[in-house]
Structure 1
Amino acid sequence: MGNLFLKRVYEPYDESDGFRILVDRIWPRGISKEVAKLTAWEKEVAPSPELRKWFCHKPELFEEFRTKYLEELRTDEQKQKILDEIITMTLKGKVTLLYGAKDPVYNHAIVLLEELKRIMNHEEEKSNYTY
């Protein structure tokens, strides 16, 4: 579970980032593909366009946004598949989820990280359970 991290895509690349996955639906302004050095761009795991536009990065809407985005992550098959792929990557090494939002607290990547850690913790608990 210690192999999953968040980083703003505008922060400098570091070899210790491991697998670098952009989790934004929209490509970040001013960043070239060469500078981003992505392993993958999983735009479909980002909030739906409607939810993203509704939220508009307003801190006062964050709790409701969080609830709605978690619902998307837990019910959308494509998002579920991407979550599984990211979790599988953590078994192979460090994974850094990259996002472009200016606010390091009120953004979808925080919610995504929380959900991935919840799933990974649940899987770990299941594997430790003996019959």
Structure 2
Amino acid sequence: MIQCKRVYDAANEDDGYRILVDRLWPRGIKKSDLAFDEWCKTLAPSNTLRKAFHSETIDFTSFSQAYQQELAQHEDEGQRLAELAKNQTVTLIYAAKNTEQNHALVLADWLRRR
């Protein structure tokens, strides 16, 4: 099972294996204070794409399509995480404020299709 959660929300046992999926470290959190098992920068959106989305140069639909094209370049890493999720809960943690339109949700859907 793959789920998504904000990095600022408290960790709990139901989270299983926690993967930080942001390219940048979340603001206001010390590395020693964050409960996470892995930081996967490889599957985070490129800086160019991230900046375009956050500056509203592109909408979420365009961002999602472009991000999936970027993800296609990392099939091996995606397959690794998808296999991990077959045996345990995997929680993708992210710093974005918007819980309904963010890269972690796009990534989770992409991983579920692996």
Give how far 1:54 is off. 1.2
Counterpart mapping for 1:1-131 below 5 A: 3-56=1-54, 58=56, 61-74=59-72, 76=73, 79-119=74-114
Length-normalised TM-score, structure 1: 0.80
Give how far 1:59 is off. 9.4
Give how far 1:108 is off. 0.7
Aligned length: 114
Question: Which runs of 5 or more structure 2 residues have no equivalent in the other structure?
Answer: none
> Bigger shift: 35-44 or 4-13?
35-44
The CA distance in 1 between the partners of 2:32 and 2:11, in whole Å, is 10
Q: % of aligned pairs identical?
A: 40
Question: Which runs of 5 or more structure 1 residues have no equivalent in the other structure?
Answer: 120-131
Partner of 2:92, secondary structure, is strand
Contact 2:68/2:110 (8 A) holds in 1: yes
Partner of 1:103, secondary structure, is coil
4+ runs deviating over 3 angstroms? 57-60
Alignment RMSD? 1.6
Q: State which structure, 1 or 2, has the greater radius of gyration over its C-alpha atoms.
A: 1
The CA distance in 2 between the partners of 1:107 and 1:30, in whole Å, is 20
